[in-house]
Chain A
Amino acid sequence: MRLVVFILFLLLSSTSSFAQADSLRNLQEVVITATRQERRLGNVAVPVTLIQQQQIRQAGSLRLRDILQEQSGLVMTSAFGVGVQMQGLNPEHTLILVDGQPLVGRTSGVLDLNRIALAGIKRIEIVKGPSSSLYGSEAMAGVINLITEAPGKKELSGSLRYGTGNPDKGWALPFASSGFQQLDADLQVGYQVGKWKFRHSNNYLYNDGISFRPFSTDRIPRPINRLTHQTTLLRPIGERTEFKLLLRANQDKIEQEFAVRNNGQLIESYGREKNTEWNIQPTITYRPGQRLALHSRGFFTRYVGDQRLFFVQKPDSSYLDRFEQHLYRFEQQLDWTIGRSEWIFGAGYQIDQARSTRYDALDNRKQNRVAYAFAQWEWKLNEKLISVAGMRYDDNQLFAAALTPKWSLRYKPNEKWSVQASVGQGFKAPDFRQLYLNFTNNAAGGYSVYGTQDAIRIINELNRLGQIAELQPDFSKLSDLTPEYSTGTNLGVTYQPKQTITVRLNGFRNDIRSLIDVRQVATRIDGAQIFSYLNVKRAYTYGLESEFKWQFHSQWTLQTGYQWLRTGDKDELDRIKKGLEYTRAPDGSSRVMTLREYVGLPNRSEHQAQFKLRYQPAEHRFVFLRLLYRSRWTIANSNGNGVHDVQDEYANGFLQINLSGGIPLRKNIQLQAGIENLLNYQDVNYLPNFPGRNIYMTLNFKL
């Protein structure tokens, strides 16, 4: 507390009056993700959120999770790492890109947002609504694109941060053994050698973790070491051509202690996790004239996730879980301006490979090849109306092809008002797990899960050997998986009565079909169940999102956001309407469930809100307060009916408060301090990745 008062005092004593024009510029800022071409934010016809580096820094955000959790309409999920839920869709339905190319290495569809360092990232663009018409698979809920800092500037800068906390007591003295320690070191170097422009970004994060529930069934991280290096390189070749190269390498080493449940018995275990990832992204851009641009892109990435498990009671045995993924891609894009129209044509070819201990054999590499083409026509009818129509075709080697169109409109009758409407298709290709998983859990009753590529063959073989007691009706439905599809509609209004006030409202609806679900397809003679994947589920999400930004004083900015969300499973809804779903009366007896009692999909909060207040009298002098609220969400089906209703168990809604502030110490050195999770809110059961209060101090320098 004393620290806060100290910072406030320093800030208020400042006499400088640096006008912060951040929000004024907002609609003039440039985004690239919405159309694959640079566009002013005010001219984009789909909902886009832009996060600038200054906001990332002032919020004290180190990892992608830290900054995304503060954004309106994004909810962090906590199974298989921290994932992002956008417009109520699961993490597997949001595509995460770095400079337009995807990050791979998902576990159960979740890309752990803590894996991604924000060092060397210039801005983050978030496009909501299906964007498969430009980006292909996974862009169902939307796209999060991290734009790296361009090389060229001569720069030497860095930061050193130390943080500490104690989830139980709430406070910890620096370096006290009772608390956890966090260290983040960052170094950015930019220079030019002849025509070559370089930029190197290095980041190291050490976190000795939060072990407030040792040997629980949740994986509580113990010491974490994360190392990220990023190099960008730029070289003009002649007048019209430019060569750019992005190299990114990332390594995580995570130690864990947790319990594995084996037939109802808890086995204390230690985990040693190592994730290694690199990607190379060369791009050549050729501009023969004002109206034409040709981009040739290559993309190569490799991810290896390696987890070893050791048991406290049986020190000499261990369990290895390994997942390796490669992605090779070549892509051509042509941008062409003719009169009022801007055309984009693109085509590409990619090879996606994976191998894992969870498939039939680690040595067997699985492969999918995709050839794709896309086109987009942006037509500026007049100053008021812009129409953007796009379409993409993905031809898959392993499953059905996907065709995803999208059309969006922006109508701006005057300077104050603007309306954006879009409707589009999104798709997600079946992943390798759903195609090739070959997993038998001997620990928990011996059940097996087989990916669809092998399921029929394996079960028929078991049947021939007399190992199958019963084939379930779903066995006959087993076939090649098709992609999951969604149709998303967004309708939004932006109102800017003054330069200093922006109000945005966006309603959305997503209808998702052929969702892949795990279903029991057979029973072994010993009673063990066999599962596989089927395109069977249908779901919907709809809601309303609002944003309000007001710079009410040259040094003060207020920003609020709110999302109201409803979701549901369409088949469950049909069953409830037909009176086929039951619930329990207070005396324990069954009664027919009503539609009002239906909650929808699990792990969805109906309300989510942010309140952000920033005071910035000078460039490096600021206080930034963020209040983040998420309402309760269902976590378990307590009354046994299999659908989520008001009788089920909920995780409590909660308020998180983050506070940070900064002051310049010298010309080149700034001090920043902050408190994450000021209220020390914790939920060991349902927010296992949510640490307690963290107090930190950062020294930034820039030469």
Chain B
Amino acid sequence: MRFQLLLLTSLISFVACEKDKPTPTIDQRAYSVTTSGNVVTVRNLPGDTIIGVSAQGQPVGAGRYTFFSLESGQWIPNADSNSSRWDLAFAGTTVRVNNLTSGPGSGGGFVFNGSFETLASVPVDSTFRVDNHPVSYAIPRGSGRAWYTYDGPTNLLTPIPGRTLVIRTANGQRAKVEILNYYRGGSTPSASAADSIKIRDQRFFHFRYTKF
């Protein structure tokens, strides 16, 4: 199926080249933001991707967050990190909200157990949590605790289906976010894939969100 899709895409792009017109085909491995109705889907947003190996032999990133604004649907440059222009920051498995130890905004968030679609509004009895770096976070870190599970033997990280992040933006708006995938191209490598692929392609966030 994937092969046929690839064939189809390449055919379309081939035909398109013939006609010499720009086409809206999406590079599956490149950063993109698409909107369908009121749901925005972000693909391949890098979150401190692996650049090398530490002295202890661990794969490491540059230690830099990637900032994203749910309000404008844009990737925010790091120069604006100390502003209310961003709502979510990504680095490895850490997702931070714009408040207190993370930023000057009034952001917050919590994890809702339930699907993105069925969550129509912010539940009345809910409390937004804030980051208290490095002790605790609005979106807790750790396998199985918030939005992902990590499997040691296969060295793979998978977002948990049915976990929705409810986010308060830096300016106090409410939004729901579902993280879809953690790997470049939007599909988790096979358990038997080479470690080099698992390391190279990780920390690429795919998520969709909508404002309440």
Chain A residues packing against B (C-beta within 8 Å): 217, 261-266, 444, 527, 529, 580-584, 588-592, 635-642, 649, 685-686
Contacts and interface: CB of A to CB of B under 8 A. Distances in A.
A98 B107 CA distance: 67
Contacts of B186: 588
B33 to A, nearest CB: 15
Interface string B52-84: 010011110000000000000000000000000
A86 B58 CA distance: 41
A625 to B, nearest CB: 32
Given A589-B178, A636-B154, A639-B158, A265 B58 contact: yes
A640 B56 contact: no
Interface of B: 53, 56-59, 115-117, 141-142, 144, 148-149, 151-156, 158-164, 178, 180-181, 186, 188, 190-192, 195, 199, 206, 208
A581 B148 CA distance: 15
A264 B93 CA distance: 15
A653 B188 CA distance: 22
A262 B162 CA distance: 31
Contacts of A636: 151, 154, 156, 191
Contact of A589 (B154, B156, B158, B208): B208
A263 B115 CA distance: 33
A311 to B, nearest CB: 12
Contacts of B151: 636-637
B115 A592 contact: yes
B59 A639 contact: no
Contacts of B188: 638
A427 B116 CA distance: 43
B162 A590 contact: yes
A527 B143 CA distance: 11
A636 B141 CA distance: 22
A584 B191 contact: no
17 contacts: A217-B153, A261-B152, A263-B58, A264-B58, A266-B195, A444-B152, A529-B142, A582-B160, A588-B180, A588-B186, A590-B161, A635-B191, A638-B191, A639-B158, A640-B149, A640-B158, A642-B160
Nearest to A313: B57
B192 A685 contact: yes
Contact of A639 (B117, B152, B155, B161): B161
Contact of B191 (A261, A527, A582, A649): A649
Given A263-B58, A266-B195, A590-B178, A641 B160 contact: yes
B8 to A, nearest CB: 15
Nearest to A444: B152
Contacts of B164: 590
Nearest to A591: B115
B149 A642 contact: yes
Contacts of A592: 115, 162
B57 to A, nearest CB: 4
